[in-house]
């Protein structure tokens, strides 16, 4: 069953699943930023992550 079918059958459960998935992605993203900034040199890695986040938030959508 794809997401649309799931949403049509039970909208609340589908939205809860989508929010959980987005939260897990966000947690992974924050973990990767943390790893990059503390394990690989600090400022430049963190700046690269922020640029990537900015690109994803503005260009992809």
Model pTM?
Answer: 0.57
Which residues are CB-contacts of 17 (< 8 A; sequence separation ≥ 6)? 6
Distance separating alpha carbons of residues 37 and 41, to the nearest angstrom: 6
| 29 C-beta neighbours (distance < 10 Å), count | 14
35 SS3 class: helix
Token pair of 47 as six digits = 């700046």
- Measured on CA atoms in the order 9, 13, 17, 22, is the torsion positive or negative? positive
pLDDT in tens, 9-53: 999 998 998 888 888 888 887 787 777 777 766 677 777 777 877
pLDDT (0 to 100) of residue 24: 86
């Amino acid at each position: 069953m794809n997401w649309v079918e799931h949403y049509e059958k039970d909208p609340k459960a589908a939205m809860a699943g989508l929010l959980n998935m987005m939260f897990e992605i966000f947690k992974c993203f924050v973990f990767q930023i943390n790893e990059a900034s503390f394990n690989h040199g600090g400022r430049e890695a963190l700046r690269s992550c922020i640029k990537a986040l900015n690109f994803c938030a503005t260009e992809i959508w």
